[in-house]
Amino acid sequence: MSSESISRKHFIKSSSILLAGGSGLLSGLPSNATEQIKSTTGSKALTLKNVRLETGFEYEEGEVIATKTELFTIGISEGKIKSVLPNKPNAAAVDAKGWLMLPAFKDMHIHLDKTFYGGPWKAHLRKNRSVKDMIAFEQKIIPELLKTSTYRAEKLIELLQSRGSSFARSHVNIEPTSKLDSLKNLQKALENKKHSFDAELVAFPQHGIYYTQSAQLMKEAAKMDIDFIGGLDPNAIDGSVEKSMDFVLQLALDHNKGIDIHLHEGGEPGLKTVMYLIDKVNENPVLKGKTFISHCFVLAKLEGRELEEVAEKMANAQIGVISTIPFGSRTMPIPVLYKHGVDVRAGNDCIIDHWSTFGSGSVLQKANLMAQLYGYTSELDLSRCLKLATHNILPLDDKGNRQWPKADDTANLVLVDASCSAEAVSRISPVRSLIHRGNIVY
């Protein structure tokens, strides 16, 4: 991918986010067929016809100028793709209407446990500017939010599904105000959605581990059904990088969990946190590939050789970065991270809650933002940007060979109204249907 600079003013002026809806996969089917498909749990067979798949690239003077596609018939059973066959337009099957089939999307950083979504509209309050301001505000409003948090989490999951995501990594508050109730309420929502949505959970000390008395609660949460130990700005919130991060690291090691911390801090404290984590992960190789830094805004301020060295060290320690693809002064050096092999993932973070007025629920939109910010405008580059939404699963490899889907792949897929991956990224093409483990869930 080639990169070219783009000013914030030009970006905002040229950006157009089109998240259109549309008719679903089940429209037009006989009522009995619709009910049979809706009741599918992954154990029944499902056949799709007129499915558009990418088959290769077209070249002109060595440059990719277009993506080739053909229509196929896809056989699904027991939650797996069982066959990818030439199209049979007259087959007794669900008609995919020529829509493009892509791997289902994954939102890798979101807070499903706290949102205004599903309830009355509320904008962000201007007085809540700092993280500590927000902690104080949360301590006031969480008791009321908890009353409907299971319902709202389910509504937020449904929004993600309508945007093509069948998986999320959700951070969940663990702090003295909600204690373990935010976690328990979210687990209820995920249980209710277990046949249509998968999730990883991060025990997140949103109010600090030591800034509020959250250490014991974090220890209790680590024994529950969670996957990662979280953290928050160890210097700014807890007053010590070492003390805060040592707690997170040891808790993860003791309970065989991963690590995913929020790091908003810049400057020396932010860089110190990154380097401290690199050293500790290298000392404990079991954490390699299981440690992530969400946001990691300090990287946006690094330049030249210093940035290259930090990115290289993160890649060697297999520490990933989870980003919302911010623009303006916090534009992340994603091309450099990719260059060195850092695992970059994306998420929506906060959707219409007390932290943010915004949020579409679309990680395809995040891929689009990345393309605009870094000048990824060619057919090949745009098609590669899709990996931000699918976490590195692409229909075609860099040479144009089809690598997805194939038999025995998990049947997590999305149908979009686009001619190819490049168009889907460029236009944020409408999601028409989501299939999760062989279930049509949207």
Specify the amino acid at residue 420. Answer: C
Mean pLDDT, to the nearest integer, of 408-433? Answer: 98
Q: What is the mean pLDDT of the chain?
A: 91
Q: Which of 381, 363, 379, 362 is nearest to 371 (CA)?
A: 381
Query: Tokens at residue 427, please?
Result: 């236009």
**What percent of the chain is modeled with pLDDT above 70?**
89
The pLDDT of residue 278 is: 98
Mean pLDDT, to the nearest integer, of 387-391? Answer: 97
Element (H, E) at 102: strand 100-103
Q: CA 201 to CA 184: how far, in whole Å?
A: 11
Confidence check: pLDDT of 36 > 90: no
The pLDDT of residue 79 is: 96
Confidence check: pLDDT of 7 > 90: no
pLDDT band at 24 (very low <50, low <70, confident <90, very high): low
Mean pLDDT, to the nearest integer, of 375-404? Answer: 98
Q: Which CATH number fits domain 16-98+397-440: 2.70.150.10, 3.40.50.300, 3.30.70.260, 2.30.40.10?
A: 2.30.40.10
HSE, side-chain direction, 13 A CA sphere, residue 218: 29
The pLDDT of residue 26 is: 54
Q: What is the CA radius of gyration of the chain?
A: 22
The pLDDT of residue 21 is: 37
Q: CA 342 to CA 253: how far, in whole Å?
A: 22
Q: Which of 166, 6, 151, 47 is nearest to 102 (CA)?
A: 166
Q: Which of 182, 134, 186 is nearest to 155 (CA)?
A: 186
Q: Is the distance from CB of 162 to CB of 117 less than 8 angstroms?
A: no
The pLDDT of residue 38 is: 44
Least confident of 6-15, 141-150, 155-164, 298-307: 6-15
The pLDDT of residue 99 is: 98
Give all strands (DSSP E) within 332-430, no chain letters: 344-346, 413-416
The pLDDT of residue 353 is: 78
Mean pLDDT, to the nearest integer, of 324-346? Answer: 96
Confidence check: pLDDT of 11 > 90: no
Instruction: Name residues whose C-beta falls within 8 Å of residue 376's C-beta, 6 or more positions apart in sequence.
Output: 1, 2, 3, 370, 382, 384, 385
Confidence check: pLDDT of 131 > 60: yes
The pLDDT of residue 283 is: 98
Angle CA 40–42–48, to nearest 5: 75
Query: Tokens at residue 433, please?
Result: 């249907």
The pLDDT of residue 128 is: 63
Question: Of residues 42 and 434, which shows the higher confidence score?
Answer: 434
Confidence check: pLDDT of 23 > 60: no
The pLDDT of residue 18 is: 36
Mean pLDDT, to the nearest integer, of 381-406? Answer: 98
pLDDT digits (tens, 9 = 90+) for 343-363: 999 999 988 777 787 889 999
Report the first-to-last Cα separation within the chain, whole angstroms: 33
Mean pLDDT, to the nearest integer, of 65-91? Answer: 97
Mean pLDDT, to the nearest integer, of 171-185? Answer: 98
Domain segments of the chain: what residues?
16-98+397-440, 106-361
Q: Is the distance from CB of 366 to CB of 19 less than 8 angstroms?
A: no
Q: What are phi and psi of 54, to 5 degrees?
A: -75, 140
Which CATH number describes the domain made up of 106-361? 3.20.20.140
Confidence check: pLDDT of 289 > 60: yes
Query: Tokens at residue 169, please?
Result: 């990594």
**What percent of the chain is modeled with pLDDT above 90?**
82
Specify the amino acid at residue 155. Answer: K
Angle of helix 241-255 relative to helix 267-283, nearest 10 degrees? 30
The pLDDT of residue 357 is: 79
pLDDT digits (tens, 9 = 90+) for 98-128: 999 999 999 999 999 998 788 777 776 777 6
- The length of the chain in residues reads 442
Specify the amino acid at residue 229. Answer: I
The DSSP output letter for 438 is T
